[in-house]
């Protein structure tokens, strides 16, 4: 997420993190989750992180200017993608609408900042910080909700794992952002290690969560009811039982 901070760093550590990032991608394909647009957003998010790591570590050779642009785009786009992924955890339509609106606002603001070169230097940290804050707020809400549900309904354990990874990693990213942009920390080596560890933990928890994830009891039945609701025979049957 904040690869823009780390133009250099331990290539071995970054390579390990990059390999770990492939695990949730494989799990998404294996569990056939690509039907849900939230997981498509997760795939884009993970892929962007992988490419950013490959360019930054020098595995893919290019100029420093190109690496900087890639990392800026990565930092701007990742929070909206994570917010889209969080829609998967919501069972409330109003919350899903709020998340979609937040994603649109972040994307539009990011595009406007990239177009207006005269305000880029001042505005980019603001929009990155705003994105981190919004992910922190929404993810902690779902974290509390899914932890409670994982205790009462064992089927939510997978979602609890995934959202735990998001909470942990994005609070770490927020700390890195504050240390870099507010306190002007020059201790990039330690921040780099924190970034790589939190990213690896995010990938591992999403990987475990996808493998553990199960539908709640009755979810299939609800889906089937929606599918049959528009069938004339079903409507006639339901009307006869209401009368």
User: Does residue 235 share a domain with residue 156?
Assistant: no
User: Does residue 237 share a domain with residue 185?
Assistant: no
Q: Which of 210, 122, 194, 195 is nearest to 161 (CA)?
A: 210
User: Does residue 135 share a domain with residue 237?
Assistant: no
DSSP 8-state assignment for residue 35: T
User: Does residue 228 share a domain with residue 170?
Assistant: no
What's the angle, vertex CA 226, arms to CA 220 and CA 228, rounded to 5? 105
User: Does residue 155 share a domain with residue 83?
Assistant: yes
Q: What pLDDT is attached to residue 226?
A: 41
* CATH, residue 51: 1.20.1070.10
SS3 (DSSP) at 156: helix
Give residues with Cβ within 8 angstroms of 113, minimum separation 6: 76, 119, 120, 123, 124, 127
Tokens coding 228: 């049959």
Q: What pLDDT is attached to residue 11?
A: 58
SS3 (DSSP) at 237: helix
User: Does residue 236 share a domain with residue 158?
Assistant: no
DSSP 8-state assignment for residue 215: P
DSSP 8-state assignment for residue 4: G
Instruction: Find out whether 199 and 49 touch, Cβ atoms under 8 Å.
Output: yes
User: Does residue 67 share a domain with residue 149?
Assistant: yes
Sort residue 58 into left (φ over 0), alpha (ψ -120 to 50) or beta.
Answer: left
User: Does residue 103 share a domain with residue 84?
Assistant: yes
SS3 (DSSP) at 34: coil
Instruction: Find out whether 202 and 147 touch, Cβ atoms under 8 Å.
Output: no
Q: What pLDDT is attached to residue 165?
A: 96
User: Does residue 207 share a domain with residue 109?
Assistant: yes
User: Does residue 185 share a domain with residue 169?
Assistant: yes
Residue 74: domain span: 3-212
CA distance 231 to 238: 11
Cα 23 to its chain centre, rounded Å, is: 15
User: Does residue 71 share a domain with residue 183?
Assistant: yes
User: Does residue 232 share a domain with residue 166?
Assistant: no
Number of domains in the chain: 2
Sort residue 171 into left (φ over 0), alpha (ψ -120 to 50) or beta.
Answer: alpha
pLDDT string in tens for the chain (243-residue length): 444 444 344 556 678 888 999 999 999 999 999 888 899 999 999 999 998 888 877 778 888 888 888 888 888 899 999 999 999 999 889 999 999 999 999 988 888 887 877 777 788 888 999 999 999 999 999 999 999 888 887 677 899 999 999 999 999 999 999 998 888 888 888 888 899 999 999 999 999 999 998 765 544 433 334 433 443 433 443 444 444
């Amino acid at each position: 997420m904040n690869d823009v901070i780390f133009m250099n760093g331990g290539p071995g550590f970054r390579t390990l993190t990059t390999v770990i990032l492939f695990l949730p991608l494989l799990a998404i394909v294996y569990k056939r989750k690509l039907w849900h647009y939230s997981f498509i957003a997760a795939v884009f998010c993970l892929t962007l992180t992988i490419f950013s790591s490959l360019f930054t570590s020098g595995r893919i050779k290019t100029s420093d200017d190109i690496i900087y642009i890639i990392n800026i785009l990565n930092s701007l786009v990742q929070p909206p993608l994570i917010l889209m992924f969080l829609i998967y955890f919501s069972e409330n339509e109003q919350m899903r609408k709020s998340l979609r609106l937040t994603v649109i606002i972040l994307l539009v603001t990011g595009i406007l900042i990239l177009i207006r070169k005269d305000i880029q230097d001042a505005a980019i940290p603001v929009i990155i910080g705003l994105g981190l804050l919004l992910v922190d707020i929404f993810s902690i809400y779902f974290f509390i909700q899914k932890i409670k549900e994982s205790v009462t309904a064992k089927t939510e354990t997978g979602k609890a794992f995934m959202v735990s990874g998001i909470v942990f990693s994005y609070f770490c990213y927020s700390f890195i952002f504050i240390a870099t942009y507010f306190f002007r920390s020059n201790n990039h080596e330690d921040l780099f290690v924190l970034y790589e560890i939190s990213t690896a933990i995010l990938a591992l928890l999403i990987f475990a969560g996808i493998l553990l994830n199960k539908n709640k009891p009755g979810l299939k039945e609800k889906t089937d009811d929606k599918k049959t609701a528009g069938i004339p025979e079903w409507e006639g049957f339901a009307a006869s039982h209401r009368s």
